[in-house]
Amino acid sequence: MRIIAILTLLSLTVCGFSQTLTNKDISELQIKLKTIPNEPVGNDEVAVIETDLGNIVVELYAEKTPGHAGNFKKLVNVGYYTGTTFHRVIPGFVVQGGDLYSKDANPANDGTGGPGYDQKAELGQKHLRGCLAAARLPDQVNPEKRSSGSQFYFCLVDLPSLDEGGYTVFGKVIKGMDVVDKIAKVERDKRDRPIKNIVMNKVYMTTKTELKKIK
């Protein structure tokens, strides 16, 4: 029932019943999301992010980073990511998204929100081009290097400095890196936010086997 309630609320922004989430909507979602456990990720499972620029297929490191992978799958399955945007684009560095606040009416707060919780760091994987990693608050306020509950980024190049800094890598792009590169080239403002929203139109879990059938 909890998952159904969350899916119903999140669907408001997807199905056209509401253009944005209100502060009350976000607060209710954050409370409910904390009660839902992570979902284990199967070896064949992948996540698909559909955008107007194309689709991105992501493999999750279920064995090496089970906490992050399971949390990502949970958020995908409740519809959390669908309708969020890529709110931070820095060519030669990263493309970042996954903030629930990008569904509200205030673009100025994009990048400051999440599901209402953070995650224990699972370090050790390299920041290579195409990797999927978790954003986090800086060391000054986050000495344990805990990850954001939902915000993630794709590396546009190898970034060993982020390995040294202690950020959790929990997956990689296996198809659609050209789409990530397209996002990196969009026009953006002084805050590195795209002028035109780059929306995750639909985010869902499937399997490599099912994707092969589509070809």
Q: Residue 214 has what pLDDT?
A: 78
What ranges do the domains of the chain cover? 2-214
What CATH number belongs to 2-214? 2.40.100.10
- Quick: pLDDT tens for 10-25: 544 444 333 589 999 9
Place of tokens 């993630």: 152
Residues 6+ apart with CB under 8 A from 15: none
Residue 99 has pLDDT above 80, yes or no: yes
Residue 169 — φ and ψ, nearest 5°? Answer: -95, 125
- Quick: pLDDT tens for 128-179: 999 999 999 999 999 999 999 999 999 999 999 999 999 999 999 999 999 9
Q: Can you tell me the mean pLDDT for 1-12? A: 50
Write out the H or E segment, with its range, that includes residue 151: strand 147-155
H helix intervals, the chain: 2-15, 23-33, 66-77, 160-165, 177-184, 208-214
Other Cβ atoms closer than 10 A to 150? 25
Q: What is the token pair recorded at 1?
A: 């029932």
- Quick: pLDDT tens for 34-63: 999 999 999 999 999 999 999 999 999 999
Residue 198 has pLDDT above 90, yes or no: yes
What mean pLDDT, rounded, does the chain reach?
92
